[in-house]
Amino acid sequence: MNGVLGFCLLLLTFTGGQSQDWPAATARLKVNVLGVAANGGNIHIAIHREATFLQDESALSSVVVSPRGKAEVSGQLEALPHNTYAVAVFQDMNGNDQLDKNALGIPTEPYAFSNNPIVKWRAPTFNDAAVPLNQAEQVISITLKYWKDY
C-alpha cells in the first residue's frame, strides 16, 4: 500500500497538486440528407440540445447546403462536445430561410429529424430523435419527406 500512496504523492507533486483542465472531447457529425428535391432550395441542417429542441433560433450548430440538382447531399457539423443531440433538417423550397407551415401548423416544405421518426400527427420528442455523439467522427442519414408522405 505504501507504494501506491507514494506514487500518488509523487504524481501530486509533479502536477503541482492541481487538476488539469483537459479539453472536452469533441465530435464531427456528417449528416447525409436523402430525398432531396433536386429542383428545390437549400437544405438546412441544425443540431439541438434537449433543453432547446424544436425552439426557434435555438440550434447549437447549423449548416446550409445547396442541392445543386442532387437527390442526396451532405453537411458537416464540427467541434461538437460529446453529448446526446437531435438533428432537424428541412428543404427551403421558396428561399425564405424558414420551414413554412400552413394555418394548422403543418409543414408545407420537406422536413425530417435524426432517427427518421414518423412525425405526421405530432412533433417528435427529443428522445425520438436523440443521437449520442461519442466518437471523433460520426455519420447519420436522414430522409426528407413532405407531411403527406409520412
Counting the structural domains of the chain, the total is: 1
Structural domain boundaries enclosing 144: 25-149
* Residues forming a β-bridge with 1: none
pLDDT of 25 reads 87
pLDDT of 2 reads 54
**CATH number reported for the structural domain that contains residue 116 in this entry:** 2.60.40.10
pLDDT of 4 reads 46
**Does pLDDT of 39 surpass 90?**
no
Instruction: For residue 120, tell me if it sits in a domain.
Output: yes
C-alpha angle 91/78/111, rounded to 5°?
15
**pLDDT tens string 77-123:** 999 999 999 999 999 999 999 999 999 999 999 999 999 999 888 99
Instruction: For residue 107, tell me if it sits in a domain.
Output: yes
Instruction: For residue 8, tell me if it sits in a domain.
Output: no
SS3 83: strand
Q: Which residues lie closer than 8 Å to 32 by C-beta, 6 or more apart?
A: 72, 73, 74, 139, 140, 141, 142
Instruction: For residue 16, tell me if it sits in a domain.
Output: no
Range from 13-22, 36-45, 140-149 carrying the lowest mean pLDDT: 13-22
Instruction: For residue 20, tell me if it sits in a domain.
Output: no
Instruction: For residue 112, tell me if it sits in a domain.
Output: yes
